[in-house]
Structure 1
Amino acid sequence: MTGTPAHQVTIDDLGTPLTDVTFVVVDLETTGGSAHTDAITEIGAVRVRGGVVLGEFGTLVDPGRDIPPYVSVLTGITSTMVATAPRIESVLPHFLEFARGAVLVAHNAPFDLGFLKAACAATGLAWPPAASVDTAVLARRLLTRDEVPNCKLGTLAPFFSSSTTPTHRALDDARATVDVLHGLFERLGPLGVTSLEELVGLTRQVDPQRRRKRHLAAHVPHGPGVYVFRGPGDEALYVGTSTDLRARVRSYFTAGEQRSRMTEMVGLAQRVEALPCAHDLEASVRELRLIAQHKPRYNKRSRFPERLLWVRLTDEAFPRLSVVRRVVPGPGTVLGPFADRRAADAAVAAVHEALALRQCSGRLVPSASHPACALAGMGRCGAPCTGAQSADEYAATAAVLTAAVHADPGRLCAPLLGRVDRLAADGRFEDAAVLRDRIAVLVRALRRRQRLAQLAEVPELTLARPDGAGGWALAVVRRGRLVAAGVAVRGAPVRAYLQQLKTTAETVAGPEGELAASVEETELVLRWMEKPGTRLVEVTGTLACRTPGTGPLRGFLALVDAGRAARDPFADGRSLGTRARPDRVTGGRTGHGGPAALASRV
């Protein structure tokens, strides 16, 4: 007999036990059914944990408008009753403090949470990133038509023998929802749902094939590390990293993962390989290396580090700019790396706007003479091919770019910024915007190059960060590459352990020693080094930033970013997966406004 292997659930598999979770059950009364055009008139909430009520919150709210008569008939709340009540901007901070750290629960949650989110947005308050549970959806999953004709609160409350009868008043309905929630929890035991993660997953549609593969996470340990989903031929399908391997891998088999690519990947996966690491930096570096090595089909980023592009000033008497894929360490002027050709070309165009470097591809010698090109006639080239410019004069022009790459981009960028201002003053706003964006690409490339060089030039350095348990997370870095990682636990001799790390350290070099192979790794090390609390233990060589660098241009980049956000305030790079469920429940509501929308909630 064949089938899915049996798996005995252990304590480690349970996730966050429901008995340890604090829930805040909330109910609202409003002037209508639209969160965008109507307002809250009453908030009621009950805070519970482990079946025990910890506190209650209830208040009327002045909506700032008259309450429609049909709403007053339904809820019993009149305009006179809320005339002296606080406004929502005074009530919301107190409610958010009451709900801090809890999972929000509501009956037809999109209605109540939608009003609260809209009120937060209108008053400038941040909506907390809390998990939520919809008792209406949960009831639809757990109850049959033979038990209850519908899943309205007024039907479920007597079914579960609630001590409070729903009355269309916020606190009463919240109390009744607490009893319904506890009644539904009693139905979860036979289903094996004992954790918050499984509860949230139960209220959303999950591919049964994905749920059946939960046993793949059985052997995955807790702690930081890298996980590899492997397919039928044991090929790497996807590589990821997490500070808690077990929790992250288990999330792929719940409704929390709704990306269509990941759903397809989990369907193909046959096993999960877990690679524990000393700390988060080692995990991130190993992830990069594994992605570059295996090029998993379901990873989108970092699969082809060899495809990064660089802009190099060629080594000849009259150098020119060349876009290349390989850069051998050594003397020379190199700008980048760039993720694609478009960005590299934008940086090259910006340099040519500022400097009269030749753009022809032939190799020139000082003694040769050639006819001038069109760029020379436009003043965009010094025409060294005609003998109009000596090698020393041309070298002085190229030295401006070299200085910008290594230390000071002021002489390179100043004429460009001045040209942007002149174009804008002449009303040529589109031309000014194009040049401004090119300058931004150039400045970011200069900044990235300087940061990489800062670390890549150091023969060896040792970093330490508190591990949160009284010990130290240690990292040994050589030429910008992580070569050893470990954790000196509390009470252990750190210096002795560090010496052992150095003794066993190995440098992972890219093919042919190319810089591009370790760019992302070096940047990971830089970010880890710059985190608050990181200590520099030992340095061999010099770790320093050349001045002034791109610091004086930070204001310019901020203006560019602000302008881009203003042009497209709703920009969102996230993809909308085809398997994602909409954030509302349509089955329990007959419309978007009026009495029907309110009546359907009870």
Structure 2
Amino acid sequence: MSSTTDALLPPVATAAPSRDELSRRTTGQLRWQEQQGLDDLGRPLSEVTFTVVDLETTGGSPAGGSMITEIGAVKVRGGEVLGEFQTLVNPHSSIPPFIAVLTGITDAMVASAPSIESALPSFLEFAAGTVLVAHNAPFDVGFLKHFAEQQQRPWPAFEVLDTVKLARRVVTRDEAPNCKLSSLATLFHASVTPDHRALSDARATVDVMHGLFARLGGQGLHTLEDVQTLNGRVTDAQRRKRHLADALPTGPGVYLFRGAGDEVLYVGTSRHVRQRVRTYFTASETRSRMSEMVTLAERVQAIECSTPLEAQVRELRLIASHRPHYNRRSKFPDKTHFLTLTSEAWPRLSLVRSVKDRSVAHLGPFSSRRTAERALAALHEAYPIRQCTQRLAGTPAETPCVLAEMGRCLSPCDGSADPTAYEAVVAALAGTLVGDPGEVVRALDDRMRVCAQDERFEEAATHRDRLGVFVRSAARSQRLRALVDCPELVATRREDDGRWAVHVVRHGRLSAAGVIPPRADAHAWLADLLAGAETVVDTRSALPAASAEESELVLRWLEQPGVRLVQAQGEWTCPVGGAQGHLTLIDALDEARLAVVPTDERRLPRTAHRPAR
């Protein structure tokens, strides 16, 4: 079957866009920029909400019995004050005379003030969802954390900036004799003079923070992640190599970190290559092995791509080609396993590395042998075919095994099995591999129920895990097989920035990708794209023309909302009663498992309809 649907191609732009269209495009561009910001760009300082906090206390350490006497805070974003928080705190002890003289806070002033037990929750509510800023942050944040722990109150995962540490990076001794708040307030012409009262000092710290940010902006540090590099979380070796990102492209693509011998150390991909690479030199990169990799890197090579999908595919191919030391995944796409039926008198299931003819019933590819073995065990629960590996004659006369004695094998080895009945079981098994897995689901569900009734819960969990692996593997196999069978698929989608992305897929391999230029004749442009697309020869193998991981990336893109199928050669279908329909049950079993497992012992839950790997 071959079909082309002209109506689904994006229209040719022949007139100036309307006001509504311009508004829609602008909205799309903003969404695109927002997506870039979340994925790659870091958080611009102008868009981050900061809570600048200052405390007054009765001493220098909460561990020594010192108490908080006042909390002052200013919430600010983009230079605008959003709110202020101030409260005296009753320390329930006398304030030392020299502290009273320094701060002006007396016992009489705090006698009717709230205790820390009520003041701290109010402050935490005020500061929720913001970045904490303090002058000498370990002091102020240390006090707050101490009393949160004392109250058995969970401490929010605040990010913290210390203006003292930032000042030591950008303020010279010629400008200020030290990094005290009073000295910096004078340097940056703060609108409030620090006077050892919490709110006044917090207001002065806001002006100091903005003064520091202005200087950092002049050094090219515009995001929170950039600023955090100066707070001691990034090595000098990382920071010195920020220039490696300067000449990189700003669109989607692949980047390769190369070492002194031009060897590839690491391959990555991004919608915004330059900004993504810059994060490797900032505090947003927390992986220790990446810090080591950056230290060894001498240059960064970039490959521009038309679309994010093309970039992801190129990344997989480059990782498989170079097998970089610092990449942990996708380095060995050729290490695959399949389950298939042997071709002999009494067929059995076999675990093999490849299937040369995908018309043969099979399940896979599996990326690990362990996963394949669990799916194999699930199939053996439902179908009593032989599990022995020796080749049997047409009329065997061997000794039956334990499985035969347990009634879990039809026992062809001793000649007691009826060839016709055995052949029917094999045919049903073959149908399960390529179609409806319902028989396996029912068999393992019955096993789980019996085990649960007998309080053999560990055995029931084993059957549950085997069922989950089998159904997800079957769904993945059927989806991949359908895509690989198609000689050509051409699909398009309007991306978040308003552009039309087009991808050509041949036998599961991405053959071409592009973005339709504004005002272009879409049909003529598509004809040129197809003419230059990579030729893919169908080898009839069960493996896609690309790696299974690449074909899965393509499938995920094709299954996105808004994708339009422009042209198809062949049939792109999945069985109506296939494994995909059983994934809801598997997800429910996973949710039930997580509901009874302690939170700190849980693994990350699988996402809905994620194939087993």
- Is the structural similarity TM-score above 0.5? yes
Work out whether 1:248 is the aligned partner of 2:283.
Answer: no
Mapped to 2, the partners of 1:331 and 1:60 lie a distance apart of 74
Measured in 2, the distance between the counterparts of 1:267 and 1:239 equals 15
- Residue 324 of structure 1 deviates from its aligned partner by 1.6
For 2:361 and 2:69, the matched residues in 1 are separated by 63
SS in 1 for 2:547: helix
Q: Is the 8 A contact 1:366 1:391 kept in 2?
A: no
The answer to whether residue 534 in structure 2 is matched with residue 534 in structure 1 is no
**Structure 1 residues 337 and 68: alpha-carbon distance in aligned structure 2, compared to 1, 3 A threshold:** farther
Q: Is the 8 A contact 1:309 1:337 kept in 2?
A: yes
1:195 aligns with 2:222: yes
1:58 equivalent to 2:92? Answer: no
**Correspondence 1:548 to 2:577:** yes
Aligned to 1:232: 260
**Counterpart for residue 521 of structure 1:** 550
Residue type of the alignment partner of 1:559: L
Does the residue aligned with 1:133 lie in a helix, a strand or coil?
A: strand
Q: CA deviation at 1:562?
A: 4.7
C-alpha distance 540-174 of structure 1, shift in aligned 2 (>3 A): farther
Cα distance in 2 for residues equivalent to 1:17 and 1:354? 53
- Tell me whether 147-156 or 135-144 shows the greater mean CA deviation: 147-156
Mean Cα displacement is larger for which, 322-331 or 235-244? 322-331
Matched letter for residue 314 of structure 1: T
Measured in 1, the distance between the counterparts of 2:436 and 2:56 equals 60
* 1:286 aligned residue: 314
Q: 1:257 to 1:90 in 2, by over 3 A?
A: closer
Q: 1-side partners of 2:325 and 2:244: how far apart?
A: 20
Superposition RMSD in Å = 4.2
- Letter paired with 2:76: R
* SS at structure 1 position matched to 2:462: helix
Asked if 1:559 corresponds to 2:586, the answer is: no
Residues 339, 571 of structure 1: alpha-carbon distance in 2 compared, 3 angstrom cutoff: farther
Contact 2:53 / 2:202 at 8 angstroms: preserved in 1? yes
Q: Is 1:354–1:412's contact at 8 Å kept on the other side of the alignment?
A: yes
- The CA distance in 2 between the partners of 1:16 and 1:394, in whole Å, is 62
2:169 pairs with 1:141: yes
- C-alpha distance in 1 between matches for 2:538 and 2:315: 15
- Which letter maps to 1:24? F
Contact 2:85 2:126 in 1 (8 A): no
Offset from partner CA, 1:175-232 (integer Å, 9 cap, x none): 1211221343465478x34432532322234333333333333331110011112223
Aligned residue number for residue 208 of structure 2: 180
Deviations 1:282-326 (A, max 9, x none): 001111111111211111100001112222222233221211221
TM-score by length of 2: 0.76
Q: Matched residues in 2 for 1:17 and 1:409: separation? A: 47
Aligned equivalents of 1:114 and 1:340: distance in 2? Answer: 50
Contact 1:224-1:277 within 8 A present in 2 as well: yes
Question: Structure 1 residues 284-293 or 509-518, which shifts more?
Answer: 509-518
What residue number does 1:26 align with? 52
2:574, 2:47 → 1: CA distance? 48
CA displacement at 1:281 relative to structure 2: 0.4
- Matched ranges for 1:250-265 at <5 A: 250-265=278-293
Q: Which amino acid aligns with 1:360?
A: C
The equivalences for 1:405-484 within 5 A come to: 405-484=433-512
AA aligned to 1:252 is: Y
8 Å CA contact 1:28–1:112 kept in 2: the answer is: no
Query: Which blocks of at least 5 consecutive residues in structure 1 are unaligned?
Result: 1-14, 575-602
Select between 553-562 and 354-363 the one with higher mean Cα deviation.
Answer: 553-562
Post-superposition shift, 1:359?
Answer: 0.9
Pairs within 5 Å for 1:99-248: 105-107=133-135, 133-142=161-170, 153=181, 156-157=184-185, 160-166=188-194, 171-185=199-213, 188=216, 192-196=219-223, 197-248=225-276
Q: What is the Cα deviation at residue 434 of structure 1?
A: 1.8
8 Å CA contact 2:436–2:577 kept in 1: the answer is: yes
Quote the residue 1:589 is aligned against. Answer: none
Give the aligned partner of residue 339 of structure 1. 367
Match of 2:397 in 1: 369
Q: Which amino acid aligns with 2:589?
A: L
Give the partner amino acid of 2:559.
E
Structure 1 residues 250, 320: CA separation in 2 closer, same or farther (over 3 Å shift)?
same
- How far apart are 1:59 and its partner, in Å? 4.3
Offset, 1:538: 2.1
Alpha carbons of 1:352 and 1:23: their partners in 2 closer, same or farther (altered >3 Å)?
Answer: closer
The 1:245/1:395 distance shift into structure 2, 3 A limit, reads: same
What SS class does the counterpart of residue 436 from structure 2 fall into? Answer: coil
The question of 1:503 aligning with 2:531 is answered: yes
- Map Cα deviations across residues 359-400 of structure 1 (whole Å, 9 max, x no partner): 111122323332222221111210112222233211222233
Whole-angstrom CA distance in 2 between matches of 1:449 and 1:320? 20
8 Å CA contact 2:42, 2:279 repeated in 1: no
SS of structure 1 residue aligned to 2:392? coil
Partners of 2:463 and 2:95 in 1: how far apart?
Answer: 58
The CA distance in 1 between the partners of 2:143 and 2:592, in whole Å, is: 29
CA gap of 1:39–1:368, structure 2 versus 1, over 3 A, is farther
Matches within 5 A, 1:10-49: 24-27=50-53, 44-49=73-78
Q: Give the residue type in structure 2 aligned to 1:27.
A: V
Q: Which amino acid aligns with 2:345?
A: A
Cα distance in 2 between the residues matched to 1:158 and 1:572? 53
Q: Give the Å deviation of 1:498.
A: 1.3
Whether the aligned pair in 2 keeps the contact of 1:315 and 1:332 (CA below 8 Å) is: no
CA distance in 1, matches of 2:320, 2:587: 31
The one-letter code matched in structure 2 to 1:539 is A
> Paired residues, what number?
542
Change (3 A) 1:419 1:139: same
Query: Which whole-Å deviations, capped at 9, do the CAs of 1:504-538 have from their partners, x for residues lacking one?
Result: 11145799956065210111011112223322222
Q: 417-426 or 145-154: which moved more?
A: 145-154
Matched residues in 2 for 1:413 and 1:288: separation?
34
Distance change (3 Å), C-alpha of 1:153 and 1:495 = same
SS of 1:56's equivalent? strand
Contact 2:362 2:434 in 1 (8 A): no
**CA contact under 8 A between 1:46 and 1:178: conserved in structure 2?**
no
**Aligned position for 1:277:** 305
Q: TM-score if structure 1 supplies the norm length?
A: 0.77
Deviation readout 1:269-291 (Å, 9 max, x if unpaired) = 23222110000000011111111
Cα distance in 2, alignment partners of residues 23 and 498 from structure 1: 46
Q: Give the direction of change, closer, same or farther, for the CA distance of 1:489–1:33 in structure 2 (3 Å limit).
A: farther
Which is worse superposed, 560-569 or 241-250? Answer: 560-569
Please report how far the alpha carbon of residue 61 of structure 1 lies from its aligned counterpart in structure 2 after TM superposition. Answer: 8.4
